[in-house]
């Protein structure tokens, strides 16, 4: 999972790309990069948080009114500067790309590029393969001087080439020197990609593409919907916008975006994340009342911050007090996307401070968005018990996560997923809680899709139900991908 942004503007774009990456920081804290363009590329990349990488001097050196940016959360590749996006290639034209998602057949494509086509790959990430596929497509059929409808036809054929070859999830933004800005999304629409526009005083329009709408209001953009599954969108140097759906399959966006990854003020796939989390809490409270009719907590405490919204509606539905009994230091990163389990456990106590006055001598219900590995949840329970809680209940707005994700979330192996290896009773004992409750699959889907008219066929819930919606992942493939990912971590 990463954050991407692309902006076409009538003024210098670097500062707005920087601001956009700050708004997308929650989607990746490993690395970040900005690339801008006039008649050449200007690039600044680095490891760490956005504010640590870019100085005001750096931003001023990034010239041009078209650009793309990326915040990285690695699910593949190492932690090398060569793996930081955006990536670029000099031919044809000069093409740069930033990508969110995962190519399931990355290694097969990489071998084909390096061994059959003798192309050099400078990184260990699937985004570079995607960039080469785009370049190969644009290299077919000769040079097109036009940057309007004729060149858009060429782009569309190139993206169709990608859709035929690349398996998995990918939302991408790309800059082509002398042509403009391109955005495209895989035919299943697994990863989000939203659009916005801004009307200038002279009547001209600026365009933005991003993983979420988080920066739209601050930058003055109005949301105009999503890049559709299997769609390519192109903005040329004059600001003219071209759109074409090339290959639409079953629309199955990732449900974990709404559970955890997206910021609550975002709207993606026509669904407000905040409202969906309110409904998650409401559904979970009703389920609690059915399963434990004689048990009522004194206080509902969220595992901050992702769970705050759901905990608020959960408490309201049960008629009990909501309390932020765990204070979170906002300057510590999100533990779920930390690459090392020991680091995740240690950082829980760094970032969370339990408030004794809210927990002592109380029956405390802790609500978290999900239980993935179980290490963070267990540490939170320990902290609450140390503050004198009489009883501790634990509920999750997400159903048990039993399967690895191969579409862009760091759930690499069943060995690391607690629900893949233990029953709910065993998980309850491991967490050392008095009662445990998971959201059901049906209730989660209902919460996300309630009062939504957007044409979603179904949600991707592969990490929960084992149904890999691209249809190209069987048990043999799962085992190979798990081994490869764990091997990448060791190396």
What's the pLDDT tens digit per position in 407-425?
988 776 899 999 999 999 9
| Domains, the chain | 3-249 (3.60.20.10), 272-456 (3.40.50.2020)
Maximum CA extent, the chain: 75
Residue 289's SS3 state is helix
The pLDDT assigned to 330 comes to 76
d(C-alpha 275, C-alpha 303), whole Å: 18
What's the pLDDT tens digit per position in 130-164?
999 999 999 987 788 889 999 999 999 999 999 99
The pLDDT assigned to 354 comes to 95
The pLDDT assigned to 346 comes to 66
Find how far residue 251's CA is from the centre of its chain.
17
The pLDDT assigned to 343 comes to 60
Residue whose pair of structure tokens reads 């955006």 in the numeric block: 86
d(C-alpha 260, C-alpha 256), whole Å: 6
The pLDDT assigned to 270 comes to 94
Residue ranges in the chain whose pLDDT is less than 50:
77, 337, 339, 490-491
- Asked if residue 167 lies in contact with residue 103, where contact means CB atoms within 8 angstroms, the answer is yes
Peptide bond between residue 232 and the one before it cis (omega within 30 degrees of 0)? no
The pLDDT assigned to 341 comes to 52
The pLDDT assigned to 336 comes to 52
The pLDDT assigned to 472 comes to 80
Q: Which of 2, 254, 398, 463 is catalytic?
A: 2
Find how far residue 12's CA is from the centre of its chain.
27
Active site residue 37: no
d(C-alpha 94, C-alpha 131), whole Å: 11
**Among residues 385, 389, 65, which one has the least CA distance to residue 239?**
65
Q: How many residues make up the chain in this entry? A: 491
- Asked if residue 460 lies in contact with residue 188, where contact means CB atoms within 8 angstroms, the answer is yes
366 Cβ neighbours under 8 A, 6+ residues apart: 301, 302, 303, 380, 381, 384, 392, 393, 394, 395, 433
The pLDDT assigned to 333 comes to 60
Tokens for 129, please give them. 């393969």
118 Cβ neighbours under 8 A, 6+ residues apart: none
The pLDDT assigned to 490 comes to 42
Predicted TM-score (pTM) of this structure: 0.93
The pLDDT assigned to 89 comes to 96
157 Cβ neighbours under 8 A, 6+ residues apart: 137, 140, 141
The pLDDT assigned to 491 comes to 40
Residue burial 99-129, b: 16+ Cβ < 10 Å; e: rest: bbbbbbbbeebbeebeeeeebeeebbbbbbb
The pLDDT assigned to 409 comes to 85
d(C-alpha 262, C-alpha 5), whole Å: 14
């Amino acid at each position: 999972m990463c954050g991407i942004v692309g902006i076409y503007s009538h003024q210098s774009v670097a500062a707005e790309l920087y601001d956009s990456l700050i708004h997308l920081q929650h989607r990746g804290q490993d690395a970040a990069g900005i690339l801008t363009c006039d008649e050449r590329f200007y690039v600044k990349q680095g490891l760490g948080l956005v504010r640590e990488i870019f100085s005001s001097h750096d931003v001023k050196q990034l010239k041009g009114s078209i650009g793309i940016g990326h915040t990285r959360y690695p699910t593949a590749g190492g932690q090398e500067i060569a793996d930081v996006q955006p990536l670029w290639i000099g031919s044809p034209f000069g093409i740069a790309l930033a990508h969110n998602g995962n190519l399931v057949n990355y290694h097969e494509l990489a071998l084909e590029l390096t061994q059959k086509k003798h192309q050099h790959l400078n990184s260990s990430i699937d985004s570079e393969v995607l960039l080469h596929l785009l370049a190969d497509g644009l290299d077919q059929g000769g040079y097109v001087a036009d940057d309007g409808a004729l060149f858009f036809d060429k782009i569309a054929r190139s993206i169709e080439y990608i859709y035929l070859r690349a398996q998995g999830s990918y939302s991408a933004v790309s800059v082509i020197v002398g042509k403009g800005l391109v955005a495209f999304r895989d035919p299943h629409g697994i990863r989000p990609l939203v659009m916005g526009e801004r009307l200038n005083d002279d009547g001209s329009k600026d365009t933005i593409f991003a993983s979420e709408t988080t920066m739209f209001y601050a930058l003055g953009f109005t949301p105009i919907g999503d890049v559709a599954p299997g769609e390519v969108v192109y903005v040329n140097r004059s600001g003219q916008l071209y759109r074409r759906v090339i290959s639409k399959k079953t629309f199955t966006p990732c449900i974990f975006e709404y559970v955890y990854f997206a910021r609550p003020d975002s709207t993606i796939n026509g669904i407000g994340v905040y409202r969906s989390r309110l409904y998650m809490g409401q559904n979970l409270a009703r389920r609690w009342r059915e399963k434990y009719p004689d048990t009522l907590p004194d206080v509902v405490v969220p595992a901050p911050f992702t769970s705050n919204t759901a905990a608020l509606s959960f408490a309201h539905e049960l008629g009990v007090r909501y309390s932020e009994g765990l204070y979170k230091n906002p300057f510590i990163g999100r533990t779920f996307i930390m690459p090392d389990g020991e680091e995740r456990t240690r950082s829980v106590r760094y970032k969370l401070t339990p408030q004794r006055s809210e927990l002592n001598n109380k029956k405390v219900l802790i609500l978290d968005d999900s239980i993935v590995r179980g290490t963070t949840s267990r540490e939170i329970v320990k902290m609450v018990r140390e503050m004198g809680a009489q009883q501790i209940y634990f509920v999750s707005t997400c159903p048990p996560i039993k399967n690895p994700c191969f579409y862009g979330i760091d759930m690499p192996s069943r060995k690391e997923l607690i629900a893949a290896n233990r029953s709910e009773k065993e998980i309850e004992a491991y967490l050392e809680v008095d009662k445990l409750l998971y959201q059901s699959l049906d209730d989660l889907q209902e919460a996300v899709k309630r009062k939504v008219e957007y044409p979603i066929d179904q949600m991707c819930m592969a990490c929960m139900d084992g149904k890999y919606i691209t249809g190209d992942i069987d048990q043999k493939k799962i085992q190979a991908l798990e081994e490869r990912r764990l091997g990448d971590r060791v190396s």
